[in-house]
């Protein structure tokens, strides 16, 4: 049983959490390592299992550990999945690999990508989306494509793409969940909209309940929201995508020239 100094006034759950956190920071519990079970922690610290469970919940709320059903609790990998803004829309890479931007960057980082298109519908564009597409907000019908993104089978982000119906027409963009080689930007290119410029507005916020559930997020972890607009060679906006990314699993990497 672990003995604590009499002067230590911390709650037992906090003491356990602090010790585990320190072990993670020192590297004693490495990335991907399995934590001791609640039973073992309770025995080590002379507490109830509920106290050990509360300590683990503290670390989950900090995004340091993740519970895997039926397997235990593990130290979360510390290397985030980077959004490589400088080249993720590269036409050359898309042509060489036949992959979507997400699959290109996840593969490049040694992870296994997976995407799921959950729905393709037509609806009124949200006001901020209509504004960025240059549409009349009172009469802005768009194709809405909802995609979920996974790295090594773990959900990392959701993206909702809005395409003006005049752009999508009767192409696969307007109805097909699977878009084939080169994915969405290859299909845009076939319609005469080659992505040549992007604008990405980045903010952070706390997730709503649906996002927490869908992305499997622990309490206390924020999301990164990226509002992306794609422009063609004539600088016409032709698609807007709202990405909601887990803040504990994603990072942003942009390399770009500085304007005069």
State the pLDDT at residue 4: 55
pLDDT at 1 over 70: no
Confidence at residue 257, expressed as pLDDT on a 0 to 100 scale? 82
* Weakest mean pLDDT among 63-67, 125-129, 151-155: 63-67
DSSP state of 34: B
* pLDDT at 122 (0 to 100): 97
Q: pLDDT tens-digit profile of 80-100? A: 888 888 788 888 888 889 889
Average pLDDT over residues 54-58: 94
Q: What is the pLDDT of residue 153?
A: 87
Cα separation, 242 vs 239, whole angstroms? 10
Q: Is the pLDDT of residue 62 over 90?
A: no
- Residue-wise pLDDT tens digits, 202-221: 999 999 999 999 998 877 78
10-23: pLDDT as tens digits? 899 999 999 999 99
- Report whether pLDDT(35) > 90: yes
* DSSP states along 99-151: --HHHHHHHHTT--EEEEEEEEEEEEPPHHHHHHHT--TTS-EEEEEEEEEEE
Complete domains list, the chain, with CATH? 12-75 (1.10.10.10), 81-253 (3.40.1410.10)
């Amino acid at each position: 049983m672990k003995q604590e100094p009499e002067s230590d006034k911390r709650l037992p759950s906090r003491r356990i959490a602090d010790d585990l956190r320190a072990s993670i920071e020192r590297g004693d519990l490495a990335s991907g390592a399995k934590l001791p079970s609640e039973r073992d922690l309770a025995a080590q610290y002379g507490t109830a299992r509920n106290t050990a469970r509360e300590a683990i919940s503290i670390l989950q709320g900090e995004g340091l550990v993740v519970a895997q059903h039926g397997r235990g609790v593990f130290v979360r990998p510390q290397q985030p999945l980077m959004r490589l803004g400088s080249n993720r829309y590269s036409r050359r890479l898309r042509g060489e690999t036949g992959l979507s931007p997400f699959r290109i960057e996840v593969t490049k980082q040694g992870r296994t990508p997976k995407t799921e298109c959950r729905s393709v519908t037509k609806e009124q564009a949200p006001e901020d989306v209509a504004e960025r597409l240059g549409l009349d907000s009172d009469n802005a019908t768009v194709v809405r494509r909802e995609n979920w993104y996974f790295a090594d089978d773990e959900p990392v982000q959701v993206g909702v793409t809005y395409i003006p119906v005049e752009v999508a027409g009767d192409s696969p963009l307007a109805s097909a969940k699977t878009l084939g080689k080169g994915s969405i930007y290859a299909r845009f290119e076939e319609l005469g909209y080659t992505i040549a410029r992007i604008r990405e507005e980045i903010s952070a916020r706390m997730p709503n309940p649906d996002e927490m559930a869908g992305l499997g997020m622990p309490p206390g972890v924020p999301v990164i929201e990226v509002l992306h607009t794609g422009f063609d060679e004539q600088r016409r906006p032709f698609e807007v995508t709202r990405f909601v990314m887990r803040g504990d699993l994603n990072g942003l990497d942009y390399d770009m020239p500085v304007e005069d």
